[in-house]
């Protein structure tokens, strides 16, 4: 977790909250979800906005969203043309968010909206992102144990050690949504992306409930996509502005090994020419081919890194490389 340092002021008044919920074939849970959101979030917020994003549902989810929107003035719905993925649905919801805080949770009723109060209290102690931690997870073993391995890998590779990066229950300030960009399956890495921008991240244990309706969207393909996205996030957070540093080490290593091999063969050739060593040919030695290949490959890797640096330098000028926490009133 990233620590909460001293700040000029902390927000203690009830904030305005936007709840963003991606929906995929959850027609049976939506009415209960909205009822629980009003009971668990509204009492602790100065204003509540609920955004339900239908990510290409094949059931009657959109019809129920339209019905709920007519019944509740604070609720609105967005319907995507097809299933674009959870990150796209969340992005669509965050683009219309008006609250100072954004609460993200799944529509399957496994996340408990009443946990908002404890998450808000944690945030008001000086944090920007509060991630849920399903300490007692009510899922089958084939979801629990791969998730534990995944969370350990994320902590080891990114430096942000949380117990449950996959938890769909997340609370963060609106500035976080404005500064990070998620796509693919990167929604689970919102804390990591925020942490890389200097936002303060923590976690709280939350109540996890068994699934009541529908079926889980988790599978082996999703786990594998998560591993690939972890590599993407590691690169984006560590080398986005310095791509040469990501591959330059390997290029220099290969170039150095190849140069040493060629230097050794050059010395051998000179010794043969001077009669110090018996007559022989260095052209038939495998070391020559390996050394030339290492030099060429190392040079290509370095060239690729330099080209990437040029692209970043000329296309990323308008993007700020820093994030401002707060300013004085002067």
Digitized pLDDT (tens) for each residue of the chain, 330 residues in all: 666 555 554 455 678 999 999 999 999 999 999 999 999 999 999 999 999 999 999 999 999 999 999 999 999 999 999 999 898 999 999 999 999 999 999 998 989 999 999 999 999 999 999 999 988 776 666 677 788 888 898 888 888 999 998 888 999 999 999 988 888 778 889 999 999 889 999 999 998 887 777 666 565 677 777 788 888 888 888 887 788 888 899 999 999 999 999 999 999 888 888 877 787 778 888 999 999 999 999 999 999 999 988 888 777 655 666 777 777 765
Q: Are residues 152 and 300 in the same domain?
A: no
- The answer to the question of residue 36 being in a domain is yes
Q: Which domain holds residue 153?
A: 16-239
**328 occurs within a structural domain:** no
Domain-located, residue 123:
yes
Report the DSSP pairing between strands 47-54 and 75-79: parallel
Residues 275 and 128 in one domain: no
Total domains, the chain: 2
End-of-domain residue from the set 239, 259, 291: 239
Residues 128 and 258 in one domain: no
Same domain, residue pair 91 and 124: yes
Tell whether 248 and 233 lie within a shared domain: no
Q: Is the dihedral of CA 175, 13, 90, 131 positive or negative?
A: positive
Please give the backbone phi and psi of residue 2, each rounded to the nearest 5 degrees, phi first: -90, 130
Whether residue 326 lies inside any domain: the answer is no
Record the pTM: 0.77
CB of 16 closer than 8 Å to CB of 51 = no
- The 3 state secondary structure assigned to the chain is CCCCCCCCCCCCCCCEEEEEEEECCCCCCHHHHHHHHHHHCHHHCCEEEEEEEECCCCCCHHHHHHHHHHHCCCEEEEECCCCCCHHHHHHHHHHCCCCCEEEECCCCCCECHHHHHHHHHHHCCCCCEEEEECCCCCCCHHHHHHHHHHHHHHHHHHCCCCCCCCCCCEEEEHHHHHHCCCCCCHHHHHHHHHHHCCCCEEEEECCECCCCCCCCCCCHHHHHHHHHHHHHHHHHHHHCCCHHHHHHHHHHHHHHHHHHHHHHHHHHHHHHHCCCCCCCCCCCCHHHHHHHHHHHHHHHHHHHHHHHHHHHHHHCCCCCCCCCCCCCCC
Assess whether 283 and 226 both reside in one domain. Answer: no
């Amino acid at each position: 977790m990233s620590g909460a340092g001293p700040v000029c002021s902390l927000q203690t008044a009830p904030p305005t909250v936007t709840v963003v919920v991606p929906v995929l074939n959850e027609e049976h849970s939506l009415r209960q979800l909205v009822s629980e959101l009003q009971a668990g979030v509204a009492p602790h917020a100065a204003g509540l906005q609920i955004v339900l994003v239908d990510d290409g549902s094949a059931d009657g989810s959109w019809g129920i969203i339209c019905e709920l929107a007519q019944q509740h003035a604070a609720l609105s719905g967005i319907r995507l043309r097809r299933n674009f993925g959870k990150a796209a649905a969340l992005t669509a919801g965050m683009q219309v968010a008006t609250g100072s805080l954004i609460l993200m949770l799944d529509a399957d009723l496994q996340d408990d909206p009443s946990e908002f109060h404890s998450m808000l209290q944690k945030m008001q102690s000086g944090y920007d992102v509060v991630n849920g931690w399903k300490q007692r997870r009510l899922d089958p073993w084939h979801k629990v144990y791969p998730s534990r391995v995944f969370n350990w890998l994320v902590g080891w590779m990114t430096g942000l050690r949380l117990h449950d990066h996959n938890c769909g229950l997340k609370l963060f300030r609106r500035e976080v949504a404005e500064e990070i960009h998620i796509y693919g399956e990167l929604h689970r890495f919102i804390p990591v992306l925020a942490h890389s921008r200097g936002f303060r991240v923590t976690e709280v244990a939350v109540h996890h409930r068994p699934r009541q309706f529908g079926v889980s969207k988790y599978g082996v393909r999703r786990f594998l996509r998560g591993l690939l996205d972890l590599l993407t996030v590691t690169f984006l957070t560590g080398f986005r502005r310095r791509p040469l540093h990501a591959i330059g080490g390997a290029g220099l290593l290969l170039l150095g090994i190849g140069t040493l091999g060629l230097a050794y063969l050059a010395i051998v050739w000179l010794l043969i020419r001077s009669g110090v060593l018996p007559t022989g040919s260095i052209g038939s030695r495998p070391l020559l081919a390996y050394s030339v290949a290492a030099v060429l490959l190392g040079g290509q890797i370095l060239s690729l890194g330099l080209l990437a640096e040029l692209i970043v330098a000329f296309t990323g000028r308008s993007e700020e490389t820093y994030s401002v926490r707060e300013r004085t009133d002067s």
